[in-house]
Amino acid sequence: MDEQFLIEKLRQGDEAAFREIVETWKNLVYNTALGILQNAEDAEDVTQEVFVQVFESIKTFKAESKLSTWLYRITVSKALDHLRRKKRKKRFAYIQSLFGAGGETIIEKPDFNHPGIALDNKERAAILFKAIDRLPENQKIAFTLHKVEGLSYQEISDVMKTSVSSVESLMHRAKNNLKKLLHDHYQNKD
């Protein structure tokens, strides 16, 4: 089905069109969320939130960009919101534990298995994704969209609503930061 026709059908409330959009784009949304959140359960939650928002706001979609660009924007935004909520909960739990009112501090280790990573590379991938998770937010998004999702710098600039040169700069800084983080990790391992 043509993308514009699909969007029009969805605007009319057509359930079959919505199912087709979900089926067509669910892996893109899930994998993007997973790359940012590094937790399968959280990525599933965000994926559902993304499609709820698509259904609720399709009437305001101007189609000035591709549907996939719009979906990436929503996914990145929802994933970052999810991370922020989680950090607030952790801070609150930590504060509660300081005063003895809430039990233990919540510490989550990454539950991360990206579907595109071969089994023999899982350990190295876990180290890499842990380093990616320590990058500043914009670097993390740009790096994940480019290296994990395979988007071009132009596509990333559309998703992030910034210039291509800004994306190039973010990627350059992300690579340098990752080199340093990974170097430090392996230096400390010996």
Quote the tokens at residue 163.
């210039």
Task: Tokens for 128, please give them.
Answer: 């890499």
pLDDT tens string 41-83: 999 999 999 999 999 999 888 878 888 899 999 999 999 999 8
Q: In the chain, what are the domain boundaries?
A: 1-109, 116-190
Tell me the three-class secondary structure of 2-47, residue by residue: CHHHHHHHHHCCCHHHHHHHHHHHHHHHHHHHHHHHCEHHHHHHHH
Smallest CA-to-CA distance from 167 within 158, 157, 159, 176 is with 157
pLDDT score at 167: 95
- The CATH code of the domain at 116-190 is 1.10.10.10
Eight-class DSSP state of 102: S
pLDDT of the residue at 89: 61
Q: What is the pTM of this model?
A: 0.69
What is the model's pLDDT at position 105?
Answer: 37
* Number of CB atoms found within 10 A of residue 45's CB: 16
- The residue whose two tokens read 């998770």 is 133
* Domain range 1-109, its CATH number among 3.40.50.10310, 1.10.1740.10, 3.40.50.720, 1.10.1040.10: 1.10.1740.10
How high is the pLDDT of residue 53? 94
Give the pLDDT of the chain (190 residues) as one tens digit per residue. 688 888 899 899 899 999 999 999 999 999 999 989 989 999 999 999 999 999 999 988 887 888 889 999 999 999 999 988 877 665 545 444 444 444 443 334 444 555 555 555 667 777 888 888 889 999 999 998 998 888 999 999 999 999 999 999 999 999 999 999 988 888 876 5
